[in-house]
Structure 1
């Protein structure tokens, strides 16, 4: 009998898991606390390790239309814009890692993933407040007073995960000492920047990363600065363009233009958590930020959620029927993923100092093992026989 699988959370990780499970013919239901499907945030990096898995779910043509394949990353001097170093990307990374490196608006990717999950399998307005495992499965209790029953529960409910607290207990967020101002700016308002390139500027007390999204019509910007500990573990706190102007005083005019070109500005306090010692019970497991919230310095948060989702779908598809088979599948998933994501999570804590981070980011050799990873092939041992990412 096919197990009934419930997913708490319809963010990028939850929808990727739903799409991957549905793609493999499994019975999946998604429960999202919001009243509608909506992904907050701006742009994101989609490394080859994430892209190749999404291409196998059929998203390749849509990504090619909506995302941007940056030709290069340029590091420039903060005060006059002089070129310091350049990392070729584009076709060079396509050949090197066998799949494209994209920059994409989170909302665009979220819509693509939602289109891969039948609408009747996604339930909004369902905030999970608690759940209980029984001898017959899992009972989910929602804030609206309704319940749902499943054989497996996947906690994809983000950094404040209710599922995580039950599986692993309470823990304390770890503050990095930095916060980030981030948002979108129309490319037309930044005429000195080429929308085919990514840019990094490292200056006194700040690091600025800009990269194109929405087919090159917009730039996402992330301005990382030291800050007193944030009041909330959130990426949606209000910011202001005057904050940008203050940070960028004396910088290259190409970057200072952000203060006028930016739309809504949000402040993101940069927290992560210590790696967990376990993710799973006999019927329940975690993925994405619920399992391993990480700092953004490797651009891998969403990519690791995509990897988790596909790996978990493989394990559940190949599970032996019955409760023991489910428990073994979740153990197999955790055994495959937890060491890898722990390494990425801890590695993402590097790059706190702007100058060092810029040079590390430029040298792809430091993250080859991340970008080259194939989470599906790692489980199946079929790297050479899987559909080639194109």
Structure 2
């Protein structure tokens, strides 16, 4: 007979580990199944906005993460065509409706490691890839790649953009946004001397930026809409040359070009940016009795607001609270319904806002470019603070 687990979380990424930790803080045990043989640390860094820090504080690890990552002081938006500053926004100490804002660029591997280390050692089971989900009465029967099976009373899908759990729920596959993205990370032996600012360059068919994570490391990104003329070999040298050429032929500051020249690039040199249609979220099943999806499995979105990881942390705290409450009351389905009601509109709104902001920021259309540099840049900059002005709430221990 297959073992029965109370709560099984598929995926030991940011959302999966944060959910397991949130449940653990409330005295509820879970099992996390991870397909890789060890913790995955892809992606270099994440922009962590105010809503993410509130979630990390609720999980009890905000202080540990802050120790190694510098506080962002300012957002500076530059025009790729003129090089002029089109918007400037104070981040450090900026006041939102429900408290002061906080922004830091955080190393993904550092954050994942902190989350994993907070969990009991038997929480994560590696080399455990779920390949099939079946009904087994009120339980979910999970078939793993190694031939073993597990029965779960509750199933939480944190298995990424191509989620098997989301497919099981009937959610449509994410759509291609029409944009590609490349990312990199520069490490310095001593202080790099770059100001603690989020530098963002927009227009001309691309969007680029760099964010210091610490005094010795800088994260950068480059997203663009490929044209028929863009023929890029998938190797580090050619990709770097392509990005530098795009930036050099624009009015991008030399500072970001030098950082890219010195940096390590992601093994996945260019990623297709995908998002889940807001209509799919509003009309589809994101929960069903004793199963749900969160993080990228729920709301893949374009990175134009830097909210993918932040929203995953919101999901985790809210789900951990509702799910732990329902475990103690014995009504799992009600907890899942509360989670769906809480997250559906929030996720749809942020996905839509991110897509629209990305379209405006990267457009090379002359009318859109004029409006962006004269009016819209300031509005979009403010939207970067409006979206994270959100509180996922606390995790009170019993």
| Aligned twin of 2:224 | 225
2:177 counterpart SS class: strand
Q: What is the TM-score when the length of structure 2 is the normalising length?
A: 0.84
CA drift of 1:177 comes to 1.8
1:14 to 16, 24, 28: 16
| Aligned twin of 1:318 | 325
Q: Is the 8 A contact 2:93 2:101 kept in 1?
A: no
CA drift of 1:153 comes to 0.3
How many residue pairs get aligned? The number is 368
| Aligned twin of 1:254 | 255
Instruction: Say which is worse superposed, 249-258 or 30-39, in terms of deviation.
Output: 249-258
- Cα separation, partners in 2 of 1:189 and 1:94, compared to 1, 3 Å: farther
Q: Does 1:373 align with 2:384?
A: no
- Cα separation, partners in 2 of 1:99 and 1:111, compared to 1, 3 Å: farther
Q: 1:259 & 1:306 partners in 2: Cα distance? A: 29
Instruction: Say which is worse superposed, 18-27 or 178-187, in terms of deviation.
Output: 178-187
Q: 1:148 & 1:360 partners in 2: Cα distance? A: 51
| Aligned twin of 2:165 | 163
CA root-mean-square deviation: 2.9
CA drift of 1:350 comes to 1.2
Q: 1:319 & 1:106 partners in 2: Cα distance? A: 31
Q: Deviations over 1:89-142 (max 9, x none)?
A: 112258973452221111111111111211211000000011223334222111
| Aligned twin of 1:210 | 210
- Cα separation, partners in 2 of 1:32 and 1:55, compared to 1, 3 Å: same
Q: 1:86 & 1:260 partners in 2: Cα distance? A: 26
Q: Deviations over 1:286-308 (max 9, x none)?
A: 00111111111111111111111
Q: Does 1:339 align with 2:345?
A: yes
| Aligned twin of 2:299 | 292
Q: Deviations over 1:144-169 (max 9, x none)?
A: 11112221000000011111111115
Q: 2:98 & 2:211 partners in 1: Cα distance? A: 21
Q: Is the 8 A contact 1:48 1:97 kept in 2?
A: no
CA drift of 1:188 comes to 7.3
- Cα separation, partners in 2 of 1:228 and 1:76, compared to 1, 3 Å: closer
Q: Is the 8 A contact 1:210 1:221 kept in 2?
A: yes
List runs of 5+ in structure 2 lacking aligned partners.
229-233, 362-368
| Aligned twin of 1:349 | 355
- Cα separation, partners in 2 of 1:320 and 1:145, compared to 1, 3 Å: closer
| Aligned twin of 2:335 | 329
| Aligned twin of 1:107 | 109
1:227 counterpart SS class: coil
2:133 to 131, 134, 140: 131
- Cα separation, partners in 2 of 1:93 and 1:10, compared to 1, 3 Å: farther
Q: 1:259 & 1:304 partners in 2: Cα distance? A: 28
Correspondence 1:273-292 to 2 at 5 A: 273-274=276-277, 275-276=280-281, 277-292=284-299
Q: Deviations over 1:269-317 (max 9, x none)?
A: 2111223321111111100111111111111111111111111111112
Q: What is the TM-score when the length of structure 1 is the normalising length?
A: 0.85
Q: Does 1:272 align with 2:275?
A: yes
2:248 counterpart SS class: coil
- Cα separation, partners in 2 of 1:163 and 1:172, compared to 1, 3 Å: closer
Q: Is the 8 A contact 1:81 1:254 kept in 2?
A: no
